[in-house]
Structure 1
């Protein structure tokens, strides 16, 4: 992690390294199976996967911002948001990221970018309208913690394998049919085995990234609370955002749900999600941690 005043989190570092190691092994195994099944098509597979990874990693900030409708804003266009980020970056002794606003009534925020120099922090109009200044500081400090710990880049890499599994399934089936000259016994076997392998790879990578995502959210909460010294403000923001999700139109929530892993709080529509599948820890877990930090700091 680059030197900032955010408290180092060795637990997060260990988990990121271990998750990356497991996903790397999974990737190598997946590629080995595909190469063994598709034979001479392996150079095309490597070229495709390499290009896909570079594009996703290099342009992750632009892809995420475009997908979520974020537009960069200047200090003149959003003085309060820029002012808050300026104060927090000075407090954390870290470079200021680009600042954006997404026109959405869903109260949320996210950070993206492969490193601190390419980072972007975005808040929705719904968030800016609902939170008090101290609460907004807590949310923005949480997002800056993601940037400082580089876990945005790690999550981008970790989620790549799941995307790759689906893409390679289609590519492998097409390649197998072209190589086989049409439908035959070998093509039929490939059509069965490759999707099955891809599903297994997707499920494993999905569960690993969800496990890491839940811990990184707790780590960002902890980092934000210690940096600002106001864990109660972050707790208030969490409670307010989660409580008001039920007031957001279902259509808006459905549009936001695919990006839950990026957001400060999950966009849920009143449904109960399994802890195993959730990208975020429960509200109770987050508030309990913030309560313990408050006691340690001797603040209400």
Structure 2
């Protein structure tokens, strides 16, 4: 974790290390299977994967802002927003990130960038309209905790294997549907080889998906905890969470679908009222779990006062 006044979280650090170690094992197995079954394409595939990884790592801030139609704003353009960020930087002793606004009514916020020097914290116009300054401070402290914990860089690397494995599975199935499962080459059953590659990729995708989702849920709880302790106002963050969840339920379905691709980055997922999904596959812990943690922190701060 970067040297700031954000509360350290050994649990988050250990989970990051374990997740990266397990993903590394999965990666070795997947690459090994690729070299065994399709060695003629292995080096090309690895080169393409490396290029995608480097692009995602070094340009994640620009790509995310572009996709969300966000723009960097100056203190003159958004003085109140910059004022809240400045206060959090003073409290946390963290370098000031770039500040951006995305023009969408979906109330949310996200942080991106591979490190503190390249960090961008973006809020939507919908969030600015709905939260008061104290609630906004809690949300932005949460997002800057992600930057301090280096969550963006870790999650970018952790999710990369799943993205590659998913693409291999998809392209393999498309090739198979166009006759690849029935072809023979050099006395070997090409169809069976293709099936083996698809199976290995699908397994790698499933394992990496589960690991990254579990890590993502914990990092959200860690960011909530760090933000609550830094600001000393867990109730403000709880109020913002409750308000944002309620407001998202009123957003048109089409707008939510557009935003859902960025749920892993958001302060809270863009799912409407009535949506249900197993907690095993969610990028965020449930609202009840987040509020329960904040209530516990509030009680601890009251006892220590």
Q: TM-score, normalised by structure 2?
A: 0.92
Asked if the contact 1:173–1:190 (Cα under 8 Å) also holds between the matched residues in 2, the reply is no
**Contact 2:238–2:294 (8 Å) recurs in 1:** yes
Contact map agreement 2:19 2:215 (CA 8 A) in 1: yes
Q: Give the secondary-structure state (helix, strand or coil) at the position aligned to 1:202.
A: helix
**1:72 counterpart = 2:75:** no
Aligned to 1:294: 298
Q: How does 1:234-245 map to 2 (within 5 A)?
A: 234-245=237-248
Task: Report the CA distance between 1:171 and its aligned residue.
Answer: 6.5
Which residue of the partner structure matches residue 289 of structure 2? 285
> Distance in 2 between the 1:232 and 1:170 partners?
45
Equivalents in 1 of 2:193, 2:6: separation in Å?
50
Measure the CA separation in 2 of the matches of 1:41 and 1:285: 46
Give the aligned partner of residue 41 of structure 1: 41
Q: Distance in 1 between matches of 2:221 and 2:173?
A: 41
Note the C-alpha offset of 1:150: 0.3
1:173/1:242 CA distance change after superposition, 3 Å: closer
Aligned to 2:278: 274
Q: Partner of 1:147 in structure 2?
A: 147
TM-superposed CA distance for 1:173, in Å, is: 8.2
Unaligned runs of 5+ in 1: none
Residue range with higher mean Cα deviation, 11-20 or 32-41: 32-41
Deviations 1:151-206 (A, max 9, x none): 11101111111111133346778999xxx9x9325321233222222111111111
Give the SS at the match of 2:101: strand
Q: Is the 8 A contact 1:41 1:175 kept in 2?
A: no
Q: Distance in 2 between matches of 1:170 and 1:32?
A: 19
Tell me the TM-score normalised to structure 1 length: 0.94
How far apart are the structure 1 equivalents of 2:214 and 2:285?
9
| Residue 204 (structure 1) aligns with | 207
Question: What is the 5 A alignment of 1:11-90?
Answer: 11-90=11-90
**Equivalent position SS for 1:276:** helix
For residue 277 of structure 2, give the secondary structure of its aligned residue in structure 1.
Answer: coil
Residue 95 in 1 paired to residue 98 in 2?
no
Residues 57-77 of structure 1: per-residue CA shift (max 9 Å, x gap) = 111111111122211111111
Between Structure 1 and Structure 2, how many residues are aligned? 296
Do 2:172 and 2:198's aligned partners in 1 also have CA atoms closer than 8 Å? Answer: no
Give, in angstroms, the shift of residue 107 of structure 1.
0.5
C-alpha distance in structure 2 between counterparts of 1:131 and 1:158, whole Å: 32
Q: What's the RMSD between the two structures over aligned residues? A: 2.0
Find the aligned partners of 1:128 and 1:194 in 2 and give their Cα distance: 48
Matched residue SS, 2:111: strand
Match of 1:192 among 195, 204, 213: 195
Contact 2:109 2:266 in 1 (8 A): yes
Q: CA deviation at 1:85?
A: 0.5
Partner residue in 2 for 1:163: 163
